[in-house]
Structure 1
Amino acid sequence: MFLITFIYLKLQDRKDVAETTWNYIQVVLYNNPGLLALVLILMPLNWGLEAVKWRTLVRPLSGMSFMNAVKGVLTGLSLSFITPHGLGDYFGRVMQVNNPQRGRYIGAIMLGRFCQMVPTLLFGSVGLYYISVTALWIYVSSAVVLGGALLITYLVIRGRMISGIAPSEKLRVRINYYFGIIGMYSAREITAILLVSVLRYIVFAFQFGVILVLFLPEVSLHLNMAGVTWIFLSKSILPTFNFLSDLGVREFSAIYFFEKYHVDIVGVISASLTLWLINVLVPTITGAPLTLKMRLKTR
């Protein structure tokens, strides 16, 4: 609610925004078919990399084909579209796993999200620098990334000790059931997951950068990149509770960043909405039939 209010206050003096934004998006995309095609091509690559990561994460407990991994990712995306952040994604993914003990994959999902946060925090320090105009945030972010990497290393090497800190046998069994998978990954698998996470971040950031070039051609390359890293960082940190995935969070972050540099708000919102339409709404619609099939199977 706060984010929607913020956006409304920023736009209250621009009564024409709601009426012109959609037409503006159509005109810009129609006049730039080459760049639009590039953005569209990057969308399946982005989610394909996420499927590769998910396939690697489930490997210690069960095998999974690439297509089933894609189905799990798209199903999770579709369900998360109408549920609070994380819940729908978990149910959608694990329902595509060929293992009745689906609760054991909670640790895998948590590890995957943490690995994706590593490049988000690392590159996000660039955006923080532009927002705060101080290098302190860079050091703080680097420390968080380093600490997280050390935590992963500890969990991998001493993963079996996680349940050892529990005060009761019942609790130890539960902890091992839900998070024991974390100790099953080899250093090579952790490295692979981190590399895929970084590559996916780069693809996603490049995709957003191209969209910003379409709608904000006057923005310099370095400001474009800084804005992308800041928006991705904000989107990952700020909670999402609405039924339209992260819609609103990205727009809030974009306006907050670019208004400092006197960039046209209409262009900012148009670019953000275009990314949401292509990279979230389209794959969500694609995954909707898979969600229906999943519900039919469980009956």
Structure 2
Amino acid sequence: MQSNGFVPQRTYSTTKKIVFWSKIGILVLIVSYIIFTLHRQQHDLQSVRAYWKAANWFSWPAILLLLLTPVNWLLEALKWQILVRRVEPLSLKEATQGVLAGLAMGFALPAQLGDTAGRLLSLRSDQRWQGIGAALVSGGMQFLAAVFFGTIALYSQLYYGSGDLPVAQWLLFFALVLTLLLAVLATWQRHRVLHSKVRWVRRWEKYWSVASHYTTAELLQAFGAASLRYLTFSLQFYFALTIFGIHLPIRETVTGIGLVYLGKTIIPAFNLLSDLGVREATSMLVFGQWQVPAPQILSATLTLWLFNILAPVLAGLFWVWKLKLSNH
């Protein structure tokens, strides 16, 4: 009998327990920050409900927000299709099914385990585990896209002198630039890195080996798809802000969106309900500097979560069911 390799672990090491409780701590801090901010502004979730009721859901921003949701996930599927072809060629439809299955499985499972599992289980190849490298490169490309555009947004904030703690922000800026440079260097020297004689690198070589076979053109195509996807959900964020009457100058809007997604990217994800709360807390912190009321920004970010995460997850549940049937 062929095993799919995904066997639940009954015990946790001390390290895993520390990571788990650290993420729970982050969750508590984020939720506490949201509650504190709403209480300080003398608003509650009733205000959010009032904004939702007052919103014009048949306006062009709302319609475009909805129409861009499949575009968002089709671009993710295109990126996955480009990278996984070294393991198994997939059609765009098959790649989309795998992405949606991974999104549904990753809705509650920790550390991107569900997302990777859903994608790998959607493959028919006997070498599924080689797909781990493709999945990690896919996630890495999206991470780099968020860091790239987030670094530009952070520089804009620093250049125009807005925000507090400029020293800390400059340190973060240089750390992000260093991260991007190291990523370019690692990509350039990927063959040497992946075939390093370092023991801990060689231990995982069979999972990462697929990454050494990518051409520069393939990596650029994947990064292009990741960048287009980033711009797509950033545009969705803009439409969500518009729906709830948040109208800022274009520079502040673009900078704010970039900083929100940067924060969401670099803050450790606890993956409870697909990191629900990280975007909300970051948005309230970033847009709060321009005196945007907390209930308005919370309404916008929750709407974005419903459109971009919850709706595709519900669609992905169907493919998770099919994966279970096909693997028993």
Q: TM-score, normalised by structure 1?
A: 0.91
2:114 aligned with 1:88: yes
Q: Please give the alpha-carbon distance, in whole angstroms, between the structure 2 residues aligned to 1:26 and 1:295.
A: 39
1:124-143 aligned within 5 A: 124-129=150-155, 130=157, 131=163, 132-133=165-166, 136=170, 137-143=172-178
Question: Who is 2:284 aligned against?
Answer: 255
1:152 aligns with 2:180: no
CA shift for structure 1 position 14: 5.3
Q: Of 207, 211, 215, which residue of structure 1 is paired with 2:240?
A: 211
Counterparts in 2 of 1:1-299, with a 5 A limit? 1-13=28-40, 16-30=43-57, 32-129=58-155, 130=157, 131=163, 132-133=165-166, 136=170, 137-155=172-190, 157-158=191-192, 161-162=195-196, 164-166=197-199, 172=202, 174-299=203-328
Distance of aligned partners of 1:15 and 1:260 in 2 relative to their CA distance in 1, 3 Å threshold: closer
* CA positional deviation for 1:141: 2.3
Contact 1:77 1:92 in 2 (8 A): yes
Q: Is the Cα–Cα contact under 8 Å of residues 55 and 64 in structure 1 kept in the other structure?
A: yes
> How far, CA to CA, are the matches of 1:209 and 1:256 in structure 2?
17
Quick one: distance in 1 between partners of 2:278 and 2:194? 38
Residues 87 and 128, structure 2, Cα contact 8 Å, conserved in 1: no
Q: Which amino acid aligns with 1:149?
A: V
Gaps of 5+ in 1: none
Structure 1, 66-75 or 139-148: larger mean CA deviation: 139-148
RMSD, matched Cα? 2.0
Residues 112 and 140 (structure 1), Cα distance of their counterparts in 2 relative to 1, 3 Å cut: same
| CA-to-aligned-CA distance 1:65-107 (integer Å, 9 cap, x gap) | 1111000100111111111130110111111112132221111
Deviation at 1:209, TM superposition (A): 1.4
Superimposed CA distance per residue, residues 146-193 of structure 1 (whole angstroms, 9 cap, x where no aligned partner): 2211111211x436523x3338xxx84x42311101101111111111
When you count helix as a share of all residues, which structure comes out higher? Answer: 1
> How many angstroms apart in 1 are the aligned matches of 2:166 and 2:193?
40
Q: Is the deviation greater in 99-108 or in 65-74?
A: 99-108
Q: Which moved more, 1:136-145 or 1:193-202?
A: 136-145
The residue type paired with residue 161 of structure 1 is: H
Conserved? CA contact 2:61–2:242, under 8 Å: no
Deviation at 1:242, TM superposition (A): 4.5
Identity of aligned residues (%): 30
Across the two proteins, how many residue pairs are aligned to each other? 292
Distance 1:118 1:276 in 2: 22
Q: Structure 1 residues 218 and 199 mapped into 2: Cα distance closer, same or farther (>3 Å)?
A: closer
Give me the whole-angstrom Cα distance separating, in 2, the residues matched to 1:23 and 1:80: 31
Could you tell me whether the CA contact under 8 Å between 1:159 and 1:180 is conserved in 2? Answer: no
Structure 1 runs (4+) greater than 6 angstroms displaced: none
